[in-house]
Amino acid sequence: MSYHFSKTVGLPFDAAVAAATESLKKNGFGVLTQIDVKDTLHKKIGVDFRPYLILGACNPKLAYEALTLEDKIGTMLPCNVVVQQHRDNEVEISAVDPVASMSSIDNPNLARVANQVRDLLKKVISDIA
């Protein structure tokens, strides 16, 4: 089982970030955090890195449901979506597979929620042009 789903898009990096953010919104997610890995690595350790942005996405209804089922599930929230530019200037968008990340938790009700989130995140990725 893979821990993510990914898609290469024919968009420049900034347009891919905007498209990912809009697709998340259309599918019931908000972006709680945005981590610019390229900028952070440059500031903290002085290295140059490719454009790489981590969007911390959350579907409030499903997050609430998960939190009521497992009080420590916040250690696995929010769901990360990564937009990265590769050396050949191709831009890839990836989302975590919550089923894979939560598979070690023995809670069938949580597995049901994780499957719902997985389906939505797959739609987020597939909807991006």
How is the chain split among helix, strand and coil, in percent rounded to 5? 45, 25, 25
CB 125 within 8 A of CB 117: no
Q: How far apart are CA 34 and CA 1, in angstroms?
A: 27
Total-model pTM: 0.94
4-127: which CATH topology?
A: TATA-Binding Protein (3.30.310)
At 52-110, the pLDDT tens digits run 999 999 999 999 999 999 999 999 999 999 999 998 999 999 999 999 999 899 999 99
- Dihedral sign computed on CA atoms, order 117, 119, 121, 127: negative
Q: How far apart are CA 120 and CA 117, in angstroms?
A: 5
Spell out the domain ranges in the chain: 4-127
